[in-house]
Each structure stands twice: as structure tokens, then as C-alpha cells.
Amino acid sequence: MAEAQGLILEHTRPLPAEQIRLEAAAGRVLAEAARAAVDLPPFASSAMDGYAVRAADTPGRLTVIGRIAAGEPAAVGLESGQAMGISTGGAVPQGADVVIPIEYVVERDNEVEIDSPAEAGSNVRPRGGDARAGEIVAQAGSPLTPARLGALAAAGIPEARCAQRPRAAVLPTGTELRRPGETLAAGEIYEANGLLLSAQLAAAGAAVELMTAVGDDEGAHRAALEQALEADVVVTSGGVSVGPHDLVRRVEAELGVEEVFWRVAVKPGKPIAFGVRGEKLVFGLPGNPVSALVGFELFVRPAIRALQGVPEPLPQFERGRLTGGPRRRNQERDELVRARLLSSPEGAVLEPLSGQDSHMIARAADADALVLISRGEGEITDGSLVDYLRLE
């Protein structure tokens, strides 16, 4: 698994960057650090509704000389003996150094009585306290999460340099495949991988073209693959095994795809194929839907992330405890077991689902995580610490 992932990343170069308006940048990955255009906050502002005063004047009785609303600063500064009403987000006037919350003050006849000494600076949000102008708000390689979009907007950044979205073509193969909604003839099944893989690709940041499934016919494969190869990344499903109708690798070779590897010691997903044509990445995932799902997480998602310049593109496994009885290791292949992820006072607990066969997508759809049972002899006892990968 690790060797295959290494080979994929060796063949993956980040895509060029482009300037993107923030409105269209959700989920994109920054190609350059984004720096604050202004101090954040841009001016000392009030954290409360209350009265802006001088701490040195407290306790005491002060004259209210004006009201400051958010977006409507005072025209004059504050002198000793004076107070100004101020709303949350209002600019603290020159001369004031503290805001007394409205709850602690009674105003009568344009005067406020403040009973106790106030501490300079309290309830004042200092200019630049969150970020200074020119400071990095988000590093290169970080995805623009909702919070980061908010941070960039707050810092006055209207657009950002982001990696291009990888263009990905998804091509399901198999004569037996029908669209859901169509009637199944004898021996036919509904096509699941196209939607499954398209959704995974989109979630990983790719711009996806889902192609119509092709039958197990060389001519149909050639035409569809030729079109698919216009994208940066081609993801096929099915037809990469050893049967006489498994045509994907052969036709790809005819189209100039150089195979980098075929078959990985993982379960499910053993017959996965990976090749390149120039900078284009070509993944052949097996047809069983769970194999496609797992193969995507282990091998395709890292490539999509690397194309976007994510600094740590490989799956991030976490540690948790296995429950539900002992599990026998597979001697030849690392196994990825579909499991529920539960929380307990002792940490994460992984409960394998019943029905682990690679065609059982309905069972696998309930999984929160893939538990890695590394290959070897014997069994993993119940309660052992295992590595798991969260599914999104």
C-alpha cells in the first residue's frame, strides 16, 4: 500500500495556480500564503454595549457627550470627566481606554455613575489584535474552509491564488450496468460506482465529468478512454482484473498510457491499476463498489490532494480500539475493514460491520471508518489498538 502510494505521488505534480475570487473559492487550496490587507480589527473597537470612558476617571460621575454606533465613530475625542455611549463594534474614541458594560451603569440626565474602578483596556478590542496588516492569515497548501474564507474576508482579501481544480473523468465499465430507474434484464445490475466516485472526487476538490458507462467492448472502451484522457485524472471502474472481458489496461496501453503498477496487496481492491500519460494520472479501480470506494481513499484522494498542493496528501490514520471480537489477519494483504466509529471515555472505538464482502456497498454505506488490519500471521485480539481512517 505504502509503496503504491509512493509511486502515485512520485508521478503527481501540483497543477498551476490561478487567481480566484473568494466567492468562488470554497474548498480550494491556497497556492500562496494569504496576508491580511488591514489590521484586524482595523481600529480599537468596543466588545460590549456600554460607555467609553477613561479608566483614570473611575469610579466617578461622568457627563455623556455623545453616542457611538458601529460604523458611526465619534467626531471628537473624549476629555477627562466625559463618557460616550458606545455599541458593540463601535470605534473607541480618542482619549477613552475602557468600555463599561451597560449592565453596570445607570444613566440619568446625561450623566453616568460608575461605582468601581475600571481596568484600562477592558472590553476594548485592540486594533490588530487578531492579525496585523501583512501577516499571514492562511498558509499555502491550506484548504479554504468556511472559517478560513471568513478570516480572509475579515482581513480584506477579495481574491486568492489557488491551485487549479483537477479535472477528473469518471468512466464505469461493464456490459451488465444499467442506470438506476431503468429495468434490469437478466444478469444486469445497477451502476453504482459512477456516482460514488464522482461524489468522492468532488469532495476532494476535483471538477468531475461523469461519463456514460461503457460495455466490455474494445471499440467502446477506446472511444470513451480517448475522451476521458482530456482530463487531468482518469478514474475507471471495473475491467482491470484477469478475466477475458477486462479490457481497460490493454486499451489504455494502446492509447499511450504507461502503466506504473497493477495490483496492490490490499483487500479489498487488489487489481487496482495506475498509469500515466504525460502528466495525466490514470487510475483503474476494480468494479466491486466497496473496492472502488476503498481504492479511491487509499490511492486517488491522495493524488487529487497532491495535484492541489496539499502538503500532506496521504490518508491520515488515527488510533482507536478494535471491538466486536478478534480478527484474523490476512497473510498476503493489508485489509481495510469497514467499521462504525464510536466514542468512549477511553477514546475511539471501532466496531466492524457485518458483511465485509467487496460487493456489499449497502452494508459498507454505514461505515464511518476503515480499520487497517495489516497483513501477517495470527489474529488481532479484541480491544487492540488499530489504525483507522475516517470516511467523510
Query: What residues make contact with Mg ion under the rule CB under 5 A?
Result: 174, 238-239, 287
Single out the residue of 258, 245, 255, 270 nearest to residue 336, CA to CA: 270
Single out the residue of 323, 328, 337 nearest to residue 384, CA to CA: 323
Q: Give least dist CB 171 to Mg ion, A.
A: 12
Distance set, CA 199 to CA 168, 238, 349 (Å): 11, 18, 27
DSSP string, 57-106: G-SEEEEEEEEEBTTB--SS---TTEEEEE-TTPBPPTT--EEEEGGG-E
192 makes contact with ligand AMP (CB under 6 A): yes
238 makes contact with ligand AMP (CB under 6 A): yes
Task: Rule CB under 6 A: choose which of 93, 172, 284, 302 binds ligand AMP.
Answer: 172
174 makes contact with ligand AMP (CB under 6 A): yes
Q: Give least dist CB 241 to ligand AMP, A.
A: 5
Extract the C-alpha cell encoding 243.
Answer: 478475466
Distance of alpha carbon 347 from alpha carbon 323, whole angstroms: 12
Report the residue number, 123 or 288, with the smaller CB distance to ligand AMP: 288
Distance of alpha carbon 89 from alpha carbon 69, whole angstroms: 8
177 binds, among Mg ion, ligand AMP, none (CB under 5 to 8 A by kind): ligand AMP
Q: Which residue has the cell 445497477?
A: 190
Task: Rule CB under 6 A: choose which of 141, 269, 284, 286 binds ligand AMP.
Answer: 286
Instruction: Please say whether the beta carbons of 101 and 48 come within 8 A.
Output: yes
Task: Rule CB under 6 A: choose which of 14, 287, 302, 320 binds ligand AMP.
Answer: 287
Extract the C-alpha cell encoding 109.
Answer: 440626565
Q: Give least dist CB 179 to Mg ion, A.
A: 16
268 binds, among Mg ion, ligand AMP, none (CB under 5 to 8 A by kind): none
Q: Give least dist CB 213 to ligand AMP, A.
A: 6
- Stretch binding ligand AMP (CB under 6 A), from 36-44, 67-75, 286-294, 341-349: 286-294
What is the binding site for ligand AMP (CB under 6 A)? Answer: 172, 174, 176-177, 189, 191-193, 237-239, 241, 286-289, 359
